[in-house]
Structure 1
């Protein structure tokens, strides 16, 4: 009797391999062959689950979105009020203080690929807009008397700050250490509370 393959276990193996290759070798290193080597399998098995590099990238982006959403949900749920929730969620988005440097490298690799691929760009925009909506909801809860324009400007400024820190730290972690990231975020949040 032929052995049944565990499709879920294979997909998990390939997911982890895809993630590791993209985090360590960046976009140029992400190939079907590199994922197969990392997973210890054939390129045929990789192609069965992810027939193209785009499929690998989309899967990596989906994993990133799922991981960060779980942490942000938990951070928000554990907060005492809107200000604490905003600080906690944005704090989860900042890279180095939480050890998510690998995630930043995956995000940067995906973003680089998305610049030249509309399907990837659309996936990026959807995830980014979801994060913007969460932050905007929290900003509005912190400042219920603010206009829509004030909430939007503050939301996009805060998101640009944390995402910019992530991108810059992914490329030059010595220039953007954890302390600097935490202080920059704390300063922006102090101004919001004022």
Structure 2
């Protein structure tokens, strides 16, 4: 194996270790020593890549952003209509399985740590604003007849609902099973006039 490939493999191992410690053991146990134990390597190797806890958290947040961005871009590309794209992108942000449940836990852990850290909170805000812009764009495409103000308000309401449910479900998955979460999303979309059954109504009203 080449040195470059070896470094890449080490990086992936450390990334998985950072993620697993934060998602499975919680924020309080995210330390260089815990990551080294999860990765099966020395603390020196971890510190070479992540010199402190802040670096570990920044990496976990960047990894979360990268994973979810790739997933939502694929869902957008595969969707058959603007409203289908909006629903699919919102749905993947809920805690429907072990992967998305861990993502919600990582998100909460990062936010808890970011409250008193300027660099962490700046990263958190940057990624959250990018997410809001994406949902606003998808909402505008799903309801082209809406004003910009209405799009912004409804997009924010959709984000609040889906992320709020994800937080509750991550902490108590038995009380918020995937089918219930999906029904909540569909009820919310219908309440805002964004259900798939109404696709194209705005265009018909304007024609």
TM-score scaled by length of structure 1: 0.94
**Structure-2 change in CA distance of 1:132 and 1:98 (3 Å):** farther
Deviation at 1:172, TM superposition (A): 1.5
Deviation at 1:57, TM superposition (A): 0.4
Tell me, in whole angstroms, the C-alpha distance in 2 between the residues paired with 1:8 and 1:189: 42
Structure 1 residue aligned with 2:44: 44
Tell me, in whole angstroms, the C-alpha distance in 1 between the residues paired with 2:80 and 2:3: 49
For structure 2, the 5+ residue unaligned runs are 199-207
SS of 2:26's equivalent in the other structure is helix
TM-score scaled by length of structure 2: 0.88
- The correspondence of residues 41-190 of structure 1 with structure 2, limited to 5 A, is 41-96=41-96, 99-190=99-190
> How many residues end up aligned between the 2 structures?
192
Deviation at 1:145, TM superposition (A): 2.0
**Structure-2 change in CA distance of 1:184 and 1:69 (3 Å):** same
Structure 2 residue aligned with 1:12: 12
Task: Spell out, residue by residue over 1:141-164, the C-alpha distance to the aligned partner (whole angstroms, 9 max, x if none).
Answer: 111221221111100000111111
CA contact (8 A) 1:92 1:98 kept: no
Structure 2 residue aligned with 1:30: 30
For structure 1, the 5+ residue unaligned runs are none
SS of 2:14's equivalent in the other structure is helix
Larger displacement relative to structure 2 (105-114 or 3-12): 3-12
